[in-house]
Structure 1
Amino acid sequence: KGDKLNAMYIIVEGKVKVHDGDHIFTEFNNKEFFGEYSLIDSSVRSATVTAMEDTKLLRLDQADFHKIIEDHVDVSKAVLKALIKRLRNNNILEERLTQNSIKIKRQRDELDEQKKELEELNATKDKFFTIIAHDLKNPFNTVIGLTELLMDRYSSYDEEKIREFIRQIHKFSNNAYNLLENLLQWAKSQTGRLEVNPEKIDIFELAIENKSFFEEHAAKKGVTLNVDVPIRTYALVDKNMITTVLRNLISNAIKYTKSGDQIIVESSLTEKLIEISIKDTGVGIPQKNLKEIFKIDSSISTQGTADEQGTGLGLIISREFVEKNGGTIYVESEEEKGTKFTFTVPLCND
């Protein structure tokens, strides 16, 4: 490789390999030839030739070749024919290499995709077991502890203390139920058993239903819940899924909003979509966390303004359900000023 010797070699006996370092391009045997391009081109050799066994070669220099073809036209034709054949073979080889390269790239892309899916499955499994082992277990431990206290010392507590125990039991039982409901929905989604059944839904009515669902809970915390959605705003969605999304986002907003503040459920229309927003004046989300809150492998979880616990599972489910209904979800937030979750769903014009 790199030599400027302008000569072609014919193998009389033996065997050689054409290579660049450890990479072997091809091998030539008895009565085959190599270096034919050197007869018409003065460029340096692009590869190295090494004998693989005892080998005898005939050498034809470029200068001698030029003298021969001046007197023998048939030699020129024979050499050209050999060159054309070699070029054609090289073209065929190059085409095969290109096809193999494309195939290898496709296989590599498929492997990368499978690797990504496996990583997501592992993250999903880890998240699932973390929630079961910690977040679902804790409320039941608290309920068991409170009921044991009531059973053992019921007569020593006054009526107000007993009511407080009952309120706490109700609170933790409700939290466990909501978390379990989300886990069941999530499990169905992950196993492909959750079908999307789109139908014509009035988003105004759906928002009012969910306002009524949370009104007592919001009032107990001193949070005002308002709906600013035009009547007869129709979307083509799976009602159960979008109800789950609204409940998760409203519940989240209540959790991180202080007493005296408000939450607004509002909507706007584009040509083909409805944008639904849940806006609060709560504590906000740090900028560094905004890109992570919808990810399954995220461990972001903060306490609410009344020390409510969260897992982040509701937001993950919300993203999946919105995407299954042909929409997108995003968040805007500023610390100590509030958060606005917005998701889109297909507009129904019928």
Structure 2
Amino acid sequence: MSRILVVLGVILSALSSIQAQQKATASKIDSLAKHFYSAKTNAAKIQVMLNAPTRIDEYFEKPDPILNLYQNALSMAKGRDDRRSIITFLIEIAHLQMYAVLDEPQAFSLYSQALKYADEEKDFDSCAQICKGMATISEHQNFKAEMYQYLLKSVEYTEKSKTVFLNPYKWLKYMYLQENRIEDALRISKRCEKYVSERSASVQSKALAYGYMYEVLKKIPSKKEEAETYRKKTVTLLKNVKEVSTFNNLEDIATVCYEVGQYELAIEFASRIFKRSSVNKQVMVNKMLCYTVISNAYERLGQHQKSAENYKRYSELYVKYLQDVMNLESGRKVIRAEGERNLLMKQNEVEKERFYRNLSFAITAFVLLLGGVIVVFYKREQRQKQELTQLNATKDKLFAILSHDLRSPVGALENNVMLTNWGALTQDEFVETTQNLGQEIRQVRTMLDNVLHWSISQLGGMKPHPKRFSLNEAIQEQLTLLQPAADAKNIALRLQIKESVFVNADKNHVAIIFRNLLQNAIKFTRSAGAIDLVQHEDNAFHYIQVKDTGIGMSPQQLTQLFQLGEQNSRQGTAAEKGTGLGLVLVKELVEANGGSIDVTSHPDVGTNFSLRFPK
């Protein structure tokens, strides 16, 4: 009985806490609305919104009321031609549309309007932040060229402004390193260092700039001494950093501390982020990254138990984030597609009304034309109906894949975390479970990447941007990435492609193609097997073969290989899981780049994928 009373007490206490929090949230927004509407003049109302706190958690929990207030203030500012206020309100509305409402096209449109006003007013601080926001949206939509364009614009505006803003430098450096563009990364890092040196920048900003330089220089063997010099400069500055203002800055400082070997300092800065609460999805990412910094730092310090504990916290947060992303990304694409469908249907209705209205005034003169218009209109509607039917079929297939193959591994992750929380595992089992968690997360991440890439391609978002690049170098990057998986099964990866071979295709697409083919080959090759990559060419094409000594496929399985369906997902020789999307995505990307793919296979002998790319 006493236990029941305790449980009821806990529940009532939790409900009271939630109600109090909701009341506090409502009271803050209601208080702002009360001040706004009680102001006697438009100028006073505009000033109320300019003085209002920005981007607090309550706005993300309930975006509609604050959006209404900002929209009213924006209309008033436009009526007064108050350009400074117009810029401020457009930026805040765009940020809420992007992160709270999740309407990125609308956010991009608002940012574009704000950039026009800010550029005319020479408000370079705002221009830099706006371009950074537009770059973020471009990256989300997989428009890499536009992303780089807006990031470089942000840097240009930053260098004209008086406020120190390092975010575009950091992002450019990170993206260049991801694509192994070391010279570009070094150039933007030097530009960042010069930028902070020419201004009275804070110790924190200088430490970050020097840290970026060290991160790039240590990847260049001929610049080890210079890299060490920057490491020492960075360490000296980091010891003088006291307060860090934002979530992003805490993560940045902690990461730089780790990179330069200041592991205890990295733990101290990264831990500060957990003393602050926020419902913003971006902050969840910051916290995940800080957990990885703390876990890695404890590992370097030899404190393996604490490292494992923080890795477990990262895994728990990553599972929650992964579930949110699955719902967010797939939902975002479907909502956008259905919005376009509704727009088409409304346009058709408008066209019908216009057509019949005009017909009533000139029925005799347009009788012959009417027949032709009806035929054209009928064909257009049939074509649109077919396109919408295909879009709905694509949506249904996507949800079938998500529900069938992605929920199972996520459930396994949750079960492992629950067992750990209950203390049902011994120390050895805990270590093994932690290792299994990492493997599960990597498998889920691979499957999720394929699902997202494929869904983007179905909505026309993965357009190739061809350029000439070294095929050997591109494939070697994927071999390096997958070598641990091959080593785990004692599989030999043999690359027999000359460094002088260059292809003309989208480098990101080629990376996805070979990553999926190699993952597939490793998955279905038994221990002590081998995977070979060979190449030959003629005057017009390059021919690349990916051959394995795996379990092979039957003729019936070959006929269904490039078709989307749950039946096409098989477990590997070590019970590896998949979605069946990898090879579907490979075929679409190969053909999008003007190539073709063929496959031959024999059970218990192996499989040979043959790709053809134009020179």
CA shift, 1:110, in A, is 8.4
CA shift, 1:125, in A, is 2.2
Q: Comparing both structures, which one devotes a greater share of its residues to helix?
A: 2
Which of 275, 291, 296 lines up with 2:543 in the alignment? Answer: 275
Could you say if the C-alpha distance between residues 220 and 298 of structure 1 is closer, same or farther in structure 2, counting changes exceeding 3 Å? closer
Determine what percentage of the aligned residue pairs are the same residue: 32
Q: Is the 8 A contact 2:497 2:533 kept in 1?
A: yes
d(CA) in 1 for partners of 2:551 and 2:587?
22
1:157 corresponds to which letter in structure 2? T
1:158 corresponds to which letter in structure 2? Q
Partner of 1:158: 427
Could you say if the C-alpha distance between residues 108 and 269 of structure 1 is closer, same or farther in structure 2, counting changes exceeding 3 Å? farther
2:548 corresponds to which letter in structure 1? D
Which of 552, 572, 591 lines up with 1:304 in the alignment? Answer: 572
CA shift, 1:122, in A, is 4.3
Could you say if the C-alpha distance between residues 108 and 248 of structure 1 is closer, same or farther in structure 2, counting changes exceeding 3 Å? farther
Is 1:227 aligned to residue 495 of structure 2?
Answer: yes
Partner of 1:17: none
Measured against aligned partners, the alpha-carbon deviations of 1:223-255 in whole angstroms (never above 9, x if no partner) come to 111101122111000000010000000000000
Which of 400, 404, 408 lines up with 1:130 in the alignment? Answer: 400
d(CA) in 1 for partners of 2:560 and 2:492?
28
Which of 503, 507, 514 lines up with 1:246 in the alignment? Answer: 514
Structure 1 runs (4+) deviating above 3 angstroms are 106-123
Is 1:265 aligned to residue 527 of structure 2?
Answer: no
CA shift, 1:208, in A, is 1.4
The alignment yields a C-alpha RMSD, in angstroms, of: 2.4
CA shift, 1:268, in A, is 1.4
Which structure has more relative contact order (CA 8 Å, sep 6+)? It is 1
Q: Is the 8 A contact 1:207 1:265 kept in 2?
A: no
Partner of 1:291: 559
Measured against aligned partners, the alpha-carbon deviations of 1:94-148 in whole angstroms (never above 9, x if no partner) come to xxxxxx9xx99x9999899778756644442232111211211111110110011
d(CA) in 2 for partners of 1:331 and 1:110?
38
d(CA) in 2 for partners of 1:274 and 1:109?
41
2:404 corresponds to which letter in structure 1? H
Q: Is the 8 A contact 1:139 1:176 kept in 2?
A: yes
d(CA) in 1 for partners of 2:566 and 2:598?
16
d(CA) in 1 for partners of 2:389 and 2:559?
19
Question: Which shifted more, 111-120 or 232-241?
Answer: 111-120
1:319 corresponds to which letter in structure 2? K
The unaligned stretches of length 5 or more in structure 1 are 1-99
Q: Is the 8 A contact 2:595 2:613 kept in 1?
A: yes
d(CA) in 2 for partners of 1:258 and 1:296?
25
Q: Is the 8 A contact 1:263 1:281 kept in 2?
A: yes
SS in 2 for 1:265: strand
Partner of 1:190: 458
Measured against aligned partners, the alpha-carbon deviations of 1:256-277 in whole angstroms (never above 9, x if no partner) come to 0000100111211122111122
d(CA) in 2 for partners of 1:322 and 1:109?
32
Q: Is the 8 A contact 2:404 2:566 kept in 1?
A: no
d(CA) in 1 for partners of 2:503 and 2:421?
51
d(CA) in 1 for partners of 2:491 and 2:382?
47
Could you say if the C-alpha distance between residues 123 and 339 of structure 1 is closer, same or farther in structure 2, counting changes exceeding 3 Å? farther
1:337 corresponds to which letter in structure 2? V
Is 1:321 aligned to residue 599 of structure 2?
Answer: no
The unaligned stretches of length 5 or more in structure 2 are 1-370
d(CA) in 1 for partners of 2:396 and 2:600?
28
SS in 1 for 2:418: helix
Q: Is the 8 A contact 1:124 1:296 kept in 2?
A: no
Measured against aligned partners, the alpha-carbon deviations of 1:58-87 in whole angstroms (never above 9, x if no partner) come to xxxxxxxxxxxxxxxxxxxxxxxxxxxxxx
SS in 2 for 1:330: strand
Q: Is the 8 A contact 1:123 1:297 kept in 2?
A: no
SS in 2 for 1:293: coil
Could you say if the C-alpha distance between residues 298 and 149 of structure 1 is closer, same or farther in structure 2, counting changes exceeding 3 Å? closer
SS in 1 for 2:577: coil
Q: Is the 8 A contact 2:401 2:566 kept in 1?
A: no
Could you say if the C-alpha distance between residues 133 and 266 of structure 1 is closer, same or farther in structure 2, counting changes exceeding 3 Å? same
Partner of 1:336: 604
d(CA) in 2 for partners of 1:263 and 1:158?
37
Measured against aligned partners, the alpha-carbon deviations of 1:183-215 in whole angstroms (never above 9, x if no partner) come to 221122111122211011111111211111111
Could you say if the C-alpha distance between residues 260 and 108 of structure 1 is closer, same or farther in structure 2, counting changes exceeding 3 Å? farther
d(CA) in 1 for partners of 2:380 and 2:559?
26
Could you say if the C-alpha distance between residues 273 and 110 of structure 1 is closer, same or farther in structure 2, counting changes exceeding 3 Å? farther
TM, length-normalised to structure 1: 0.64
Q: Is the 8 A contact 2:595 2:614 kept in 1?
A: yes
1:142 corresponds to which letter in structure 2? A
d(CA) in 2 for partners of 1:273 and 1:308?
34
d(CA) in 1 for partners of 2:566 and 2:377?
30
Q: Is the 8 A contact 1:284 1:336 kept in 2?
A: yes
SS in 2 for 1:141: helix
1:175 corresponds to which letter in structure 2? Q
- Larger Cα Rg: Structure 1 or Structure 2? 1
